[in-house]
Amino acid sequence: MKKRLRERIASWIVHWAIHLHRSGRVRRVKERVRDLLENERNPYKKLFDSFIVFLILSSVFILIWEVKHPLPVWLDYYDIYFVSLVFAVEYLLRLWIASDFAGDLVEEYERSVAVGRPFRLAKALLKGVRKKVAYMLTPAAIIDLLAILPAYRPFRVLRIFVLFRFLKLLRYSRSISQFVEVLAAKRFELLTLLGLLVFVTVTGAIALYVLEDIHNPQIHGFFDALYWSLVTITTVGYGDITPVSDMGRVIAIAIILFGIAMISFATSVIVSAFSEKLTELKEDRIVEEINRKEEFLIVCGYGQMTKMFFRHSDAKNYPYIILDKDPERVQEAIHDGYDAIVDDASRYATLSRFNVKGSKVTVLCMTHNDVENIYITLNAKSIDPRIRVIARAGSPAIVRKYERAGADHVLLPNQVAATMMVTAILKPTMYKAIHAIFTAQNVALLDEIRIHEHNALIGKRAGEVDFRGFRLILLGILKSSDGTFLFNPGDDVVIEEGDVLLVMGHRANIEYFRESSCLEEGKCLR
């Protein structure tokens, strides 16, 4: 009878777990909560974070205020119930998203069905609970839990736990959490040091207690000796307890000497931890910075080509980041004043750090190695086909491979230069003209004018626009409707939204034309 009841309960729980596990709505809600709490790019996370930070700060402020001033009742209620309630909800939500309890249960159930073994509910539950407990034991979760405690009225002592709310800021302040991370990396050294500190302090305390307990009126117990030992070893030396016998002073000397050595050791450990982590932290900041941009370049490889690329006057127009595997090259780039990080762009993890979904990303493959360039091209295209890839190729034979890998533009430096050379010889006038146009001299700039929705030219025919009056030459129109390029368009070609006009003229004239054809100021820029 009892056994059957137990089986009933087990099957009940399993059914409930399966139901939860398969429910799309639950999963969606959970995803959204997770997104809100953990996804840095979620726009609402910032709002949520600021809200929590406000609660923390107000709560701590109330704690201090309350020491000397009477508190209005509503503020007391706010602090004790509202803030704690929000924190409690936050805690529960974090616990909820920490692991998939129902999923674990279902998985265990399915496994036992698959191998034909009787399902043991207790074991499955234990597995789920263990994961939750593992989360609850993380420092962040413990702090979260303690921060809720001040709400428990009967123990006024718990008020001091408001300070744990302060610690909650750790989660919400990046610089503090990074500091903790850095220290955590040196856990072994610091713990060794701490162990040594405890050992010497206790030894000193015991020695002083044994030697001076009788003579010294300041020492009332072992705690006093321990307190003195710590104050001395840290070189703080309040002086409220001082050794009176010669033996006591010898102990003090030994402890002080040890203390100085230990402090310098601890300092050096922390400093070295920081200098080791500093570049990494800086790189993270650079990546974060660039990810906020709408459009940016990822330049792979810092060689001749990249250097030349950045020497160009247009280079400052784009946000960029340089990646190179070779730390020496990156050093050189940083020395030349560019933002560069050591990373291998052919790795999935490297490129997926960037905000390829939200921004318009262009990858320039400029390493000397074709194999590497192709690998980077493939990598970028596999992460998101929308990433534009411009690659340099070493030989004409390999261009096909780049195209198959999905590169949008393939450039053969040798061929580009050879073509220029041949043009300079065979068609010197054209070479001069093209050179002038491409090096963007003011006189004969070749420029593109995009017809945005606020453009006065929409619906007009090419013949109606007074290009001559602006001293511009209309060379062609790229029609947005079918993507064809009309060279020297006839007068009756109608200009539509999304078209691109290719014009040539003085820079000032082009700017003037652009401005005057714009209906709403500032909205027709490229």
Report the interface residues with another protein, using CB under 8 A: 297, 304-305, 307-309, 311-312, 314-315, 317-318, 362, 364, 390, 392, 409, 411, 413-430, 432-434, 436-439, 443-444, 446-448, 468, 471-473, 475-476, 478, 485, 487-488, 500, 502, 504-506, 509
Nearest to 376 by CA among 308, 298, 306: 298
Q: Report the residue number, 122 or 425, with the smaller CB distance to another protein.
A: 425
Count of Cβ atoms closer than 10 Å to residue 445 Cβ: 20
> Amino acid letter at 132?
K
CA–CA distance, 161 with 425 (Å, rounded to integer) = 83
CA–CA distance, 255 with 263 (Å, rounded to integer) = 12
Shortest distance, CB of residue 392 to another protein, whole angstroms? 7
Q: Report the residue number, 341 or 502, with the smaller CB distance to another protein.
A: 502
Shortest distance, CB of residue 512 to another protein, whole angstroms? 13
Q: Report the residue number, 36 or 478, with the smaller CB distance to another protein.
A: 478
Half-sphere exposure of 50 (CA within 13 A, CB side): 4
Shortest distance, CB of residue 464 to another protein, whole angstroms? 14
CA–CA distance, 95 with 142 (Å, rounded to integer) = 11
Shortest distance, CB of residue 485 to another protein, whole angstroms? 7
Q: Report the residue number, 264 or 419, with the smaller CB distance to another protein.
A: 419
At 155, give phi and psi (nearest 5°): -100, 100
CA distances from 123 to 109, 136, 174 (A): 10, 20, 39
Question: Three-state SS for 500?
Answer: strand
> Amino acid letter at 287?
V
Shortest distance, CB of residue 390 to another protein, whole angstroms? 6
Half-sphere exposure of 253 (CA within 13 A, CB side): 6
Q: Report the residue number, 81 or 485, with the smaller CB distance to another protein.
A: 485
Tell me, rounded to whole angstroms, the distance of Cα 347 from its chain centroid. Answer: 18
First to last CA, the chain: 79
307 neighbors 340 (Cβ within 8 angstroms): no
CA–CA distance, 354 with 1 (Å, rounded to integer) = 61
Shortest distance, CB of residue 374 to another protein, whole angstroms? 18
Q: Report the residue number, 27 or 471, with the smaller CB distance to another protein.
A: 471
Q: Report the residue number, 201 or 517, with the smaller CB distance to another protein.
A: 517
Q: Report the residue number, 50 or 304, with the smaller CB distance to another protein.
A: 304
Nearest to 96 by CA among 124, 135, 48: 135
Shortest distance, CB of residue 312 to another protein, whole angstroms? 5
Tokens encoding 217: 């009126």
Q: Report the residue number, 401 or 506, with the smaller CB distance to another protein.
A: 506
Shortest distance, CB of residue 471 to another protein, whole angstroms? 5
**Which run of H or E residues covers position 501?**
strand 500-505
Shortest distance, CB of residue 504 to another protein, whole angstroms? 6
